[in-house]
Protein backbone atom coordinates (compact mmCIF):
# COMPACT_ATOMS: atom_id res chain seq x y z
CA UNK A 1 0.00 0.00 0.00
CA UNK A 2 1.27 3.48 -0.89
CA UNK A 3 2.94 5.26 2.07
CA UNK A 4 2.63 8.99 2.69
CA UNK A 5 4.17 11.47 5.09
CA UNK A 6 2.04 12.91 7.87
CA UNK A 7 2.31 16.70 7.68
CA UNK A 8 5.87 17.91 8.08
CA UNK A 9 6.68 15.07 10.50
CA UNK A 10 8.80 12.08 9.60
CA UNK A 11 5.90 9.73 10.25
CA UNK A 12 5.18 7.57 7.19
CA UNK A 13 1.69 6.17 7.08
CA UNK A 14 -0.41 4.01 4.78
CA UNK A 15 -2.68 5.81 2.31
CA UNK A 16 -5.70 4.25 4.03
CA UNK A 17 -6.12 4.82 7.75
CA UNK A 18 -8.12 2.03 9.38
CA UNK A 19 -10.83 3.44 11.64
CA UNK A 20 -11.13 1.72 15.01
CA UNK A 21 -14.58 2.98 16.00
CA UNK A 22 -16.24 -0.41 15.42
CA UNK A 23 -13.76 -2.42 17.53
CA UNK A 24 -15.35 -3.51 20.78
CA UNK A 25 -18.72 -2.30 19.52
CA UNK A 26 -20.06 -3.90 16.33
CA UNK A 27 -17.03 -6.18 16.01
CA UNK A 28 -15.81 -8.30 18.92
CA UNK A 29 -12.18 -9.18 19.61
CA UNK A 30 -11.99 -12.04 17.11
CA UNK A 31 -13.75 -10.18 14.30
CA UNK A 32 -11.65 -7.09 14.94
CA UNK A 33 -8.43 -9.09 14.79
CA UNK A 34 -9.48 -10.61 11.47
CA UNK A 35 -9.87 -7.11 10.01
CA UNK A 36 -6.64 -5.87 11.60
CA UNK A 37 -4.64 -8.84 10.32
CA UNK A 38 -6.01 -8.32 6.80
CA UNK A 39 -5.11 -4.64 6.95
CA UNK A 40 -1.51 -5.35 7.93
CA UNK A 41 -1.27 -8.11 5.29
CA UNK A 42 -2.35 -5.53 2.68
CA UNK A 43 0.52 -3.25 3.72
CA UNK A 44 -1.37 -1.02 6.15
CA UNK A 45 0.17 0.43 9.30
CA UNK A 46 -2.02 3.41 10.35
CA UNK A 47 -4.89 2.87 12.83
CA UNK A 48 -7.09 5.58 14.31
CA UNK A 49 -9.12 5.25 17.50
CA UNK A 50 -10.21 7.35 20.49
CA UNK A 51 -10.64 6.90 24.21
CA UNK A 52 -14.42 7.42 23.96
CA UNK A 53 -14.89 4.55 21.46
CA UNK A 54 -17.44 3.14 22.15
CA UNK A 55 -18.86 4.80 25.25
CA UNK A 56 -22.20 5.39 23.50
CA UNK A 57 -23.03 1.69 23.19
CA UNK A 58 -25.20 0.12 25.91
CA UNK A 59 -23.01 -1.55 28.51
CA UNK A 60 -19.82 0.16 27.37
CA UNK A 61 -17.90 2.74 29.38
CA UNK A 62 -15.36 3.94 26.81
CA UNK A 63 -11.93 2.58 25.95
CA UNK A 64 -13.24 -0.62 24.38
CA UNK A 65 -11.58 0.04 21.02
CA UNK A 66 -8.21 0.82 22.60
CA UNK A 67 -8.47 -2.36 24.69
CA UNK A 68 -9.09 -4.47 21.56
CA UNK A 69 -6.14 -2.86 19.80
CA UNK A 70 -3.86 -3.29 22.78
CA UNK A 71 -4.65 -6.99 23.05
CA UNK A 72 -4.10 -7.44 19.30
CA UNK A 73 -0.73 -5.67 19.29
CA UNK A 74 0.41 -7.63 22.34
CA UNK A 75 -0.61 -10.94 20.75
CA UNK A 76 1.03 -10.12 17.40
CA UNK A 77 4.05 -8.36 18.97
CA UNK A 78 3.84 -5.76 16.22
CA UNK A 79 3.73 -2.48 18.14
CA UNK A 80 6.82 -1.09 16.41
CA UNK A 81 5.28 -1.67 12.98
CA UNK A 82 2.02 0.15 13.79
CA UNK A 83 1.34 3.89 13.71
CA UNK A 84 -1.24 4.20 16.47
CA UNK A 85 -3.43 7.31 16.63
CA UNK A 86 -5.88 8.01 19.43
CA UNK A 87 -7.72 11.01 20.82
CA UNK A 88 -8.64 12.81 24.02
CA UNK A 89 -11.38 15.32 24.93
CA UNK A 90 -14.62 13.36 25.02
CA UNK A 91 -16.39 12.57 28.31
CA UNK A 92 -14.95 9.54 30.10
CA UNK A 93 -16.89 9.96 33.33
CA UNK A 94 -19.63 12.00 35.03
CA UNK A 95 -17.41 14.64 36.60
CA UNK A 96 -16.69 18.15 35.27
CA UNK A 97 -13.01 17.28 34.82
CA UNK A 98 -13.69 14.02 32.97
CA UNK A 99 -13.86 15.75 29.59
CA UNK A 100 -12.25 18.57 27.64
CA UNK A 101 -8.66 19.64 27.02
CA UNK A 102 -7.59 20.76 30.45
CA UNK A 103 -4.14 19.70 31.57
CA UNK A 104 -5.68 17.41 34.15
CA UNK A 105 -7.90 15.57 31.67
CA UNK A 106 -5.14 15.28 29.04
CA UNK A 107 -2.67 13.86 31.55
CA UNK A 108 -5.20 11.41 32.98
CA UNK A 109 -6.41 10.53 29.50
CA UNK A 110 -3.00 9.69 28.07
CA UNK A 111 -2.13 7.39 30.97
CA UNK A 112 -5.42 5.54 30.62
CA UNK A 113 -4.97 5.20 26.84
CA UNK A 114 -1.40 3.95 27.22
CA UNK A 115 -2.58 1.30 29.67
CA UNK A 116 -5.41 0.11 27.44
CA UNK A 117 -3.16 0.08 24.35
CA UNK A 118 -0.45 -1.79 26.29
CA UNK A 119 2.25 0.54 25.07
CA UNK A 120 4.52 3.24 26.46
CA UNK A 121 4.01 5.73 23.62
CA UNK A 122 1.32 6.98 21.23
CA UNK A 123 2.38 7.88 17.71
CA UNK A 124 -0.32 10.48 17.10
CA UNK A 125 -2.30 12.02 19.97
CA UNK A 126 -5.20 14.21 18.85
CA UNK A 127 -7.52 16.75 20.39
CA UNK A 128 -10.82 15.05 19.52
CA UNK A 129 -12.75 18.33 19.62
CA UNK A 130 -11.87 21.94 20.29
CA UNK A 131 -12.29 23.08 23.91
CA UNK A 132 -12.90 26.81 24.06
CA UNK A 133 -13.46 26.82 27.82
CA UNK A 134 -9.86 25.83 28.53
CA UNK A 135 -7.08 28.36 27.82
CA UNK A 136 -5.37 27.32 24.60
CA UNK A 137 -1.92 27.72 26.15
CA UNK A 138 -2.83 25.22 28.88
CA UNK A 139 -3.87 22.66 26.29
CA UNK A 140 -0.89 23.14 24.00
CA UNK A 141 1.62 23.13 26.85
CA UNK A 142 0.18 19.88 28.20
CA UNK A 143 0.45 18.27 24.77
CA UNK A 144 4.00 19.62 24.37
CA UNK A 145 5.00 18.15 27.72
CA UNK A 146 3.80 14.72 26.57
CA UNK A 147 5.95 14.98 23.45
CA UNK A 148 8.98 16.02 25.51
CA UNK A 149 8.36 13.13 27.91
CA UNK A 150 8.31 10.66 25.01
CA UNK A 151 4.79 9.45 25.73
CA UNK A 152 3.54 11.01 22.48
CA UNK A 153 5.44 11.36 19.20
CA UNK A 154 3.22 13.77 17.26
CA UNK A 155 0.07 15.83 17.83
CA UNK A 156 -3.08 16.37 15.81
CA UNK A 157 -6.43 18.14 15.94
CA UNK A 158 -9.88 16.86 15.04
CA UNK A 159 -13.09 18.82 14.43
CA UNK A 160 -11.40 22.23 14.54
CA UNK A 161 -12.53 25.23 12.51
CA UNK A 162 -9.94 27.14 10.51
CA UNK A 163 -9.45 30.15 12.75
CA UNK A 164 -8.97 27.99 15.86
CA UNK A 165 -6.48 25.74 14.08
CA UNK A 166 -4.66 28.84 12.82
CA UNK A 167 -4.47 30.23 16.33
CA UNK A 168 -3.18 26.93 17.70
CA UNK A 169 -0.46 26.73 15.04
CA UNK A 170 0.55 30.33 15.70
CA UNK A 171 0.63 29.86 19.47
CA UNK A 172 2.71 26.70 19.16
CA UNK A 173 5.23 28.47 16.96
CA UNK A 174 5.36 31.49 19.26
CA UNK A 175 5.90 29.40 22.39
CA UNK A 176 8.13 26.77 20.81
CA UNK A 177 5.62 24.00 21.48
CA UNK A 178 5.15 20.87 19.41
CA UNK A 179 2.40 21.76 16.95
CA UNK A 180 -0.60 19.99 15.48
CA UNK A 181 0.86 18.05 12.54
CA UNK A 182 -2.46 16.88 11.17
CA UNK A 183 -6.16 17.64 11.04
CA UNK A 184 -9.01 15.13 11.16
CA UNK A 185 -12.06 16.80 9.56
CA UNK A 186 -15.38 15.41 8.37
CA UNK A 187 -14.97 15.29 4.59
CA UNK A 188 -16.47 13.29 1.74
CA UNK A 189 -18.09 13.76 -1.67
CA UNK A 190 -21.36 14.99 -0.16
CA UNK A 191 -19.86 17.01 2.69
CA UNK A 192 -17.24 19.16 0.99
CA UNK A 193 -17.70 22.85 1.70
CA UNK A 194 -16.84 22.96 5.41
CA UNK A 195 -13.37 21.56 4.76
CA UNK A 196 -12.63 23.01 1.33
CA UNK A 197 -13.75 26.57 2.07
CA UNK A 198 -11.09 27.48 4.66
CA UNK A 199 -9.42 24.39 6.11
CA UNK A 200 -8.03 23.00 2.85
CA UNK A 201 -6.03 26.12 1.89
CA UNK A 202 -4.80 26.44 5.48
CA UNK A 203 -3.58 22.84 5.65
CA UNK A 204 -1.91 23.08 2.25
CA UNK A 205 -0.13 26.31 3.17
CA UNK A 206 1.00 25.13 6.60
CA UNK A 207 1.85 21.56 5.51
CA UNK A 208 -0.64 20.02 7.92
CA UNK A 209 -1.54 16.43 7.11
CA UNK A 210 -5.23 15.61 6.63
CA UNK A 211 -6.89 12.35 7.67
CA UNK A 212 -10.61 12.85 6.99
CA UNK A 213 -13.27 10.81 8.72
CA UNK A 214 -16.74 9.86 7.46
CA UNK A 215 -15.06 9.11 4.12
CA UNK A 216 -18.08 7.13 2.93
CA UNK A 217 -20.73 9.30 4.58
CA UNK A 218 -21.43 6.67 7.25
CA UNK A 219 -22.01 4.13 4.47
CA UNK A 220 -24.27 6.28 2.29
CA UNK A 221 -21.73 6.48 -0.54
CA UNK A 222 -21.48 2.69 -0.63
CA UNK A 223 -24.98 2.65 -2.10
CA UNK A 224 -26.70 0.72 0.66
CA UNK A 225 -29.24 3.49 1.34
CA UNK A 226 -31.99 3.81 -1.26
CA UNK A 227 -34.99 6.04 -1.85
CA UNK A 228 -38.19 4.52 -0.54
CA UNK A 229 -36.48 1.45 0.91
CA UNK A 230 -36.40 0.39 4.55
CA UNK A 231 -33.39 1.78 6.37
CA UNK A 232 -30.70 -0.70 7.43
CA UNK A 233 -31.04 -1.81 11.04
CA UNK A 234 -27.87 -0.06 12.18
CA UNK A 235 -27.14 2.42 14.94
CA UNK A 236 -26.24 5.17 12.48
CA UNK A 237 -29.11 4.81 9.99
CA UNK A 238 -31.20 7.68 11.40
CA UNK A 239 -28.22 10.04 11.19
CA UNK A 240 -27.53 9.01 7.61
CA UNK A 241 -31.15 9.64 6.66
CA UNK A 242 -31.04 13.18 8.03
CA UNK A 243 -27.59 14.18 6.73
CA UNK A 244 -27.32 12.39 3.39
CA UNK A 245 -30.68 11.18 2.10
CA UNK A 246 -31.45 14.48 0.37
CA UNK A 247 -31.79 15.56 -3.26
CA UNK A 248 -28.15 16.64 -3.27
CA UNK A 249 -27.02 13.44 -1.57
CA UNK A 250 -28.79 11.18 -4.06
CA UNK A 251 -27.47 13.24 -6.98
CA UNK A 252 -23.92 12.72 -5.75
CA UNK A 253 -24.56 9.02 -5.20
CA UNK A 254 -25.91 8.71 -8.74
CA UNK A 255 -22.65 10.17 -10.09
CA UNK A 256 -20.61 7.79 -7.95
CA UNK A 257 -22.59 4.82 -9.21
CA UNK A 258 -22.29 5.98 -12.82
CA UNK A 259 -18.51 6.19 -12.54
CA UNK A 260 -18.36 2.85 -10.72
CA UNK A 261 -20.41 1.10 -13.43
CA UNK A 262 -18.20 2.53 -16.15
CA UNK A 263 -15.04 1.31 -14.49
CA UNK A 264 -16.39 -2.02 -13.28
CA UNK A 265 -15.70 -1.23 -9.62
CA UNK A 266 -17.87 -0.56 -6.57
CA UNK A 267 -19.26 2.81 -5.42
CA UNK A 268 -17.21 2.44 -2.23
CA UNK A 269 -14.00 2.20 -4.25
CA UNK A 270 -14.88 5.27 -6.31
CA UNK A 271 -15.73 7.41 -3.27
CA UNK A 272 -12.55 6.39 -1.44
CA UNK A 273 -10.36 6.91 -4.51
CA UNK A 274 -11.72 10.43 -5.10
CA UNK A 275 -10.97 11.38 -1.51
CA UNK A 276 -7.59 9.67 -1.24
CA UNK A 277 -6.25 11.54 -4.27
CA UNK A 278 -7.50 15.01 -3.34
CA UNK A 279 -4.76 17.65 -2.81
CA UNK A 280 -3.27 17.54 0.66
CA UNK A 281 -5.03 14.38 1.81
CA UNK A 282 -2.70 12.08 3.73
CA UNK A 283 -5.06 9.16 4.29
CA UNK A 284 -8.84 8.88 4.45
CA UNK A 285 -10.16 7.04 7.49
CA UNK A 286 -12.55 4.16 6.87
CA UNK A 287 -13.79 1.32 9.04
CA UNK A 288 -14.37 -2.30 8.11
CA UNK A 289 -16.22 -5.05 9.93
CA UNK A 290 -14.97 -7.90 7.74
CA UNK A 291 -11.95 -8.92 5.66
CA UNK A 292 -14.02 -8.49 2.50
CA UNK A 293 -14.88 -4.89 3.35
CA UNK A 294 -11.24 -4.18 4.19
CA UNK A 295 -10.06 -5.52 0.83
CA UNK A 296 -12.61 -3.33 -0.96
CA UNK A 297 -11.33 -0.23 0.85
CA UNK A 298 -7.71 -1.02 0.02
CA UNK A 299 -8.61 -1.50 -3.64
CA UNK A 300 -10.35 1.87 -3.57
CA UNK A 301 -7.26 3.70 -2.35
CA UNK A 302 -5.19 2.06 -5.07
CA UNK A 303 -7.76 2.92 -7.79
CA UNK A 304 -6.75 5.80 -10.06
CA UNK A 305 -9.70 7.71 -11.51
CA UNK A 306 -9.24 9.26 -14.93
CA UNK A 307 -9.91 12.92 -15.69
CA UNK A 308 -13.42 12.25 -17.01
CA UNK A 309 -14.42 10.32 -13.89
CA UNK A 310 -13.06 13.04 -11.59
CA UNK A 311 -14.91 15.70 -13.57
CA UNK A 312 -18.19 13.80 -13.25
CA UNK A 313 -17.75 13.51 -9.49
CA UNK A 314 -16.53 17.08 -8.99
CA UNK A 315 -19.42 18.59 -10.92
CA UNK A 316 -22.07 16.51 -9.15
CA UNK A 317 -20.70 17.29 -5.70
CA UNK A 318 -19.58 20.91 -6.17
CA UNK A 319 -20.57 23.41 -3.50
CA UNK A 320 -21.31 27.07 -4.08
CA UNK A 321 -20.84 30.19 -2.03
CA UNK A 322 -24.00 31.19 -0.18
How far CA 292 is from CA of 31, 49, 72, 120, 275, in Å, comes to: 12, 21, 20, 32, 20
Nearest to 120 by CA among 151, 148, 144, 145: 151
Q: In this structure, how many other beta carbons lie within 10 angstroms of the beta carbon of residue 279? A: 10
Asked, as a colleague might, if the bond just before 54 is cis with ω within 30 of 0, I would say: yes
User: Which of the following is catalytic: 39, 53, 177, 187?
Assistant: 53
DSSP three-state, residue 182: strand
Neighbours of 114 (CB within 10 A): 18
- Give exposure, 18-40, as e/b (b: 16+ Cβ within 10 Å): bbbbbbbbbbeeebbbbbbebbb
Give, in degrees to the nearest 5, the angle at Cα 80 between 79 and 81. Answer: 90
CA dist list (Å): 283 to 84, 97, 160, 227, 317: 14, 33, 18, 31, 20
Q: Establish whether 53 is a catalytic residue.
A: yes
Other residues' Cβ atoms within 10 Å of the Cβ of residue 236: 14
Active site residues: 53
Amino acid sequence: MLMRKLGRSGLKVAALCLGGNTFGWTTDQNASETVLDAYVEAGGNFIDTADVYSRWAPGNKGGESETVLGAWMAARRNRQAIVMATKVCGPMGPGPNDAGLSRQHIMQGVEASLKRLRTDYIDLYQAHWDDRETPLDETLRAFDDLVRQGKVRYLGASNHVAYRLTRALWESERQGYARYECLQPKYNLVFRDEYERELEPLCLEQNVGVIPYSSLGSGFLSGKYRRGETLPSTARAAGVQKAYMTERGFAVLAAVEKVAAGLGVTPTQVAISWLAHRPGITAPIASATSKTQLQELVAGVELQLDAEARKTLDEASAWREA
